[in-house]
Structure 1
Amino acid sequence: MTAFDLAPTLESPALRLRPLAASDRDALHAAASDPGTWAGHPARDRHLRAAFDPYFDVLLKAGGTLAVIDRASNRIIGASRFYVPPDRPESIAIGFTFLDRAHWGGAVNREMKRLMLAHAFQTFPEVWFHIAPTNLRSRRATAKLGALHDHDAVLDLAGMPAEWTCWRLTRAAWEANDDAARAVPAR
């Protein structure tokens, strides 16, 4: 794989994304504690501490996970992760993303993805997203970025093989879909 910083600090006027730290456990759980956040997700009980703590441990151990911080409140409002896709080791993927429901509705997710995609597209010509087949909310949000469903696969992304819908976003598709993307320097 090309040299790539899996755990950068990325900032916009509204958000700061920085590497997840062990000391973020309670703050990230607070962001994840609304059962509605996980209602359409395969891990519907992740709002419970007993289900959240193993998830947090996986994110921390895997690396590439970024805490998403609302700069106005200086509060952690979610997380997202860069990782190398097991079926596309020459590429990069973004996933394991969630936001506190108070920040749903597009603007925060789009800004978070702009920051992450700008970073990724400095090194890679495409970015992959792996989404559980039943997670319709994430599938719709990913399609809004300009990504296209490419294929389905059984992949081990977090210690257990599972079925995923695999979405591919090229730099050209992102630029065509998002004016802010055009500000990213070509490489």
Structure 2
Amino acid sequence: MNLQAVLENDLVKLIPLEESHFEGLYAVASDPLVWEQHPNRNRYEREVFKVFFEGAMASRGAYLVLDKSTGEIAGSSRYYELDDKKKSVAVGYTFVGRKYWGKGFNPAMKALMLAHAFKYVDTVVFHIGASNFRSQKAIEKLGAVRTGEFEVAYYGEPVRPNFIYEIRKEGWLAP
């Protein structure tokens, strides 16, 4: 599975994240309200976001999400934990700027990522912070089912409680 294929639809374009994208992406991520419900609420701070960005680069599955109509940076997401034996991959570390909330950007990017992933795997997994109700609702709208919970330390960050959600290929109806 190519974890960084260019993906696009009428609303968004996902391109592989590059080091040169840091400043533009940080401009979106520097809004404290973006991280308000996230387990790591201080990710808007430059040094904390820098660790997040380093993890994105190290994942080799991260995307810069662009508003297709303007070319502006809308946010980021990534594939990670590709498991060939289980035929699964995780999607997450997603955020979009407030300017794009409620305008279909999150479901549009997730639909692209799901469609691409289901060419290669049978299950897409999402790890969502236990206190991140906004993301939980968003992923449930796409048909994800909560299957468990665990504690995880994101790249260079403290351990936090998360829920596990899954969407199975046979149960997903592409928009």
Deviation, 1:163, is 2.8
Q: Which residue in 1 is equivalent to 2:114?
A: 117
Q: Which residue in 2 is equivalent to 1:174?
A: 172
Q: Which residue in 2 is equivalent to 1:91?
A: 88
Q: Which residue in 2 is equivalent to 1:129?
A: 126
Deviation, 1:106, is 5.2
Deviation, 1:63, is 1.4
**Separation (CA, whole Å) in 2 of partners of 1:158 and 1:50:** 13
Q: Which residue in 2 is equivalent to 1:183?
A: none
Q: Number of residue pairs matched?
A: 173
Residue 44 of structure 1: SS of its match in structure 2? coil
User: Any idea what the Cα deviations from partners look like across 1:63-121, whole Å, max 9, x if unmatched?
Assistant: 100100112221111000001168x8641010000000111115111110111000001
Q: 1:158 aligns with which of 151, 155, 158?
A: 155
Q: Which residue in 1 is equivalent to 2:143?
A: 146
Residue 20 of structure 2: SS of its match in structure 1? helix
Q: 2:73 aligns with which of 76, 93, 98?
A: 76
Residue 116 of structure 2: SS of its match in structure 1? helix
Kept in 1, the 8 Å contact 2:51–2:156? The answer is no
Q: TM-score, normalised by structure 1?
A: 0.86
Residue 105 of structure 1: SS of its match in structure 2? coil
Considering fraction of residues, name the structure with more strand.
Answer: 2
Q: 2:62 aligns with which of 41, 60, 65?
A: 65
Kept in 1, the 8 Å contact 2:74–2:96? The answer is yes
**Separation (CA, whole Å) in 1 of partners of 2:128 and 2:122:** 20
Confirm or deny that 1:100 pairs with 2:97.
yes
**Separation (CA, whole Å) in 1 of partners of 2:60 and 2:151:** 22
Please, what is the CA RMSD of the aligned residues? 1.8
Identity of aligned residues (%): 35
Equivalent AA in structure 1 for residue 79 of structure 2: F
Q: Mind listing any 5+ residue stretches in structure 2 that lack a counterpart?
A: none
Confirm or deny that 1:53 pairs with 2:47.
no
Q: Mind listing any 5+ residue stretches in structure 1 that lack a counterpart?
A: 181-187
Q: 1:13 aligns with which of 10, 13, 16?
A: 10
Kept in 1, the 8 Å contact 2:125–2:165? The answer is yes
